[in-house]
């Protein structure tokens, strides 16, 4: 029996409907959450990602600002821009689109973002809060994966989970989120011994290694849930024929367009797994949805903290 397809677009629409209600409530209180996006250079993929994020803001009624810098921008120029955005009260979230050009100190730039406005969840303060299980802003893709599992009724408690990939953006925070949800987690990577057998023991597999169709069908325990974070564009005809040998529709798409998208999971996995996320239309829509959610959350938390600080200040000023 083919695997159940976990439709990221449908789950995104559920989240957007909930966010619209929360945004309306904030608007009634005179608050309009706003996201500032920083784009450096003319990387086509980055331009598409940023445009889609700005479009999502417009769809939901959030404020948005795009700050585009040339590819020659320096670390100092980016630090100055981030400092300005930190100081602007109407900006609740700051998104620095990655990757940045090689001359820019990426970590220094990301660590300059106010943790209260770090809607990507990359700042060490927010990562530390995640480690300790405290409330904070969590990286969008991992928390989006958790939403897919939760809203699809996939049990996590007491399950064995394998994460293929150990990046700071996906693998590590994904492991923490699953652990906080009481899963037993194994983080796999290129040095993992007998990787297929490790993955085969898992009830939940999260593929985030960045290699096209790397996770094969015989790596997956029958009935397991597979979350495919990868998105790879295939432009080589031999590679397309190898991956899609038994999937004529995908081969026809490649022949027509000269390229085709595939995740880190081989399409044959759907014949073994109990549930899978498609590529495209799986994790991708949730990444943007959780960016919107984090922006609204940041607006709410910032106003709450400001209100508490104001009350504390008034109380301290009384004789």
d(CA 286, CA 185) in angstroms, rounded, equals: 22
Which pair of structure tokens corresponds to residue 95? Answer: 């998104």
Compute the distance between CA of residue 38 and CA of residue 22 in angstroms, rounded to an integer.
26
Helix (H) or strand (E) holding 250: helix 248-257
Residue pair 287/141 in contact by the 8 Å Cβ criterion: yes
Please state, in angstroms and rounded to a whole number, the distance separating the CA atoms of residues 196 and 199. 5
98: DSSP letter: S
Give the residue among 138, 200, 215, 198 at the shortest CA–CA distance from 172: 138
231: which 2 tokens?
Answer: 């998105």
Catalytic positions are: 53, 97, 120
Q: At CA 234, angle to CA 148 and CA 38, rounded to 5? A: 60
Q: How far apart are CA 79 and CA 111, in angstroms?
A: 10
- N-term to C-term CA, the chain: 74
Residue 263: closest CA among 242, 249, 277, 248: 277
Element (H, E) at 279: none
C-alpha distances in Å from residue 270, one per residue of 22, 200, 210, 253, 299: 36, 14, 19, 19, 40
Beta bridge partners of 160: 184
DSSP letter (8 states) at residue 156 = -
Q: CB–CB of 154/202 below 8 Å?
A: no
């Amino acid at each position: 029996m083919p695997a159940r397809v976990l439709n990221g677009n449908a789950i995104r629409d559920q989240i957007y409907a909930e966010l619209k209600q929360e945004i309306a409530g904030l608007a009634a209180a005179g608050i309009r959450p706003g996201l500032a996006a920083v784009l450096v250079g003319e990387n086509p993929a980055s331009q598409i990602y940023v445009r889609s994020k700005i479009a999502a803001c417009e769809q939901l009624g959030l404020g948005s600002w795009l700050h585009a810098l040339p590819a020659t921008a320096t670390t100092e120029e980016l630090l100055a821009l981030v400092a300005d955005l930190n100081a602007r009260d109407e900006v609740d979230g700051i998104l620095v689109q990655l990757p940045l050009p090689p001359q820019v100190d990426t970590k220094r730039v990301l660590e300059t973002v106010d943790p209260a406005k770090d809607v990507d969840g990359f700042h060490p303060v927010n990562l530390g809060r995640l480690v300790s299980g405290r409330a904070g802003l969590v990286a969008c893709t991992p928390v989006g994966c958790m939403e897919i599992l939760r809203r699809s009724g996939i049990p996590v408690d007491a399950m064995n989970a394998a994460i293929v990939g150990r990046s700071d953006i996906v693998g590590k925070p994904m492991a923490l989120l699953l652990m906080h949800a009481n899963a037993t987690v194994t983080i796999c990577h290129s040095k993992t011994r007998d990787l297929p057998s490790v993955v085969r023991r898992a009830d939940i597999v999260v593929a985030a290694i960045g290699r096209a169709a790397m996770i094969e069908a015989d790596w997956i325990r029958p009935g397991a849930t597979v979350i495919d974070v990868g998105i790879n564009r295939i432009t080589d005809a031999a590679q397309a024929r190898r991956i899609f040998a038994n999937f004529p529709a995908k081969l026809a798409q490649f022949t027509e367009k000269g390229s085709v998208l595939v995740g880190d999971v081989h399409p044959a996995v759907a014949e073994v797994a109990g549930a899978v996320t498609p590529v495209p239309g799986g994790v991708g829509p949730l990444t943007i949805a959780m960016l919107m959610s984090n922006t609204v959350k940041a607006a709410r938390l910032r106003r709450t903290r400001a209100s508490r600080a104001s009350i504390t200040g008034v109380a301290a000023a009384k004789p």
